[in-house]
């Protein structure tokens, strides 16, 4: 069985990507509060939704990066 080694820099990079996703999710929450004229308390009362959206964004980015790497790998082989 092949060992998978995750380096510290890779971990930092993944955390940074998730953190960017989280900031985007917070921005989405702010936008929705303004658009639907709801309470600013939703910034913290609905933090759970924000975290969920950030995870979904992170997973979507992870999938996109996977596809990108796969295409690049195929292109280089040719």
* Residues near other proteins, by CB under 8 A: 28-29, 31-38, 42, 45-46, 49-50, 53
Residue 10 or 38: which CB sits closer to other proteins?
A: 38
**Distance between CA 60 and CA 55 in Å, rounded?**
8
**Distance between CA 5 and CA 19 in Å, rounded?**
22
Shortest distance, position 76 Cβ to other proteins, whole Å: 36
Shortest distance, position 26 Cβ to other proteins, whole Å: 10
For the chain, the C-alpha Rg in angstroms (whole number) is 17
Shortest distance, position 43 Cβ to other proteins, whole Å: 10
Contact 42, 29 (CB under 8 A): yes
């Amino acid at each position: 069985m092949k060992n998978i080694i995750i380096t510290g820099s890779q971990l930092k990079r993944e955390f940074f990507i998730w953190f960017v996703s989280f900031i985007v999710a917070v921005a989405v929450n702010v936008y929705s509060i303004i658009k639907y004229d709801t309470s600013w308390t939703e910034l913290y009362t609905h933090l759970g939704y924000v975290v969920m959206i950030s995870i979904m964004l992170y997973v979507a980015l992870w999938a996109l990066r996977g596809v990108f790497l796969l295409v690049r790998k195929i292109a280089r082989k040719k």
